[in-house]
Structure 1
Amino acid sequence: MELLSYPSMSESEELIVRDFLDKIIVVDLDNKIKDLAIAFRKNYKLKLPDAIVAASFWTEVLLLIITSKPESIDLFSRP
């Protein structure tokens, strides 16, 4: 929703975004992810979005691409 809500977005840009969204995997926030995100927030003092990303990464078979180095890099490195 966020990606498609920019007022200045052209029709061609919207088509590109929609095409991208059709190709990605959307992970639903099930109770397993929610519980792990809560634990990450408590134990690592993460912001909620970061905790959700980390929990999703740990509970799903995902390739995680990040644009900045997270403070709690250990969360984003599987053993």
Structure 2
Amino acid sequence: MGLITQILTLPLAPVRGTVWVLDQVLLTAEREYYDPEPVRAELAELEQQLLSGRIGDEEFDRREDELLDRLEWLEANQQRLRANS
């Protein structure tokens, strides 16, 4: 970028900085949202609840199906994102 361009676009610097910060926040939020580890941890906790008798088989099956569907969706999304990178 030339000196004149920098001088002329100087008033836009705060906007560019704000856009960059928002982009970084969005990337971090997406990374956390698509992270399968919390779902895996929840599956492990669910199994512990079943083994300790805090939940029954029906509730375990229902919640496990929901978590496995979410995990499958997350892993498919990760593969799609890697393919597009």
Question: Quick check: TM above 0.5?
Answer: no
Indicate the structure (1 or 2) with the bigger Cα radius of gyration.
Answer: 2
Higher helix share: 2
Q: Normalising by the residue count of structure 2, what TM-score does the alignment of the two structures yield?
A: 0.21
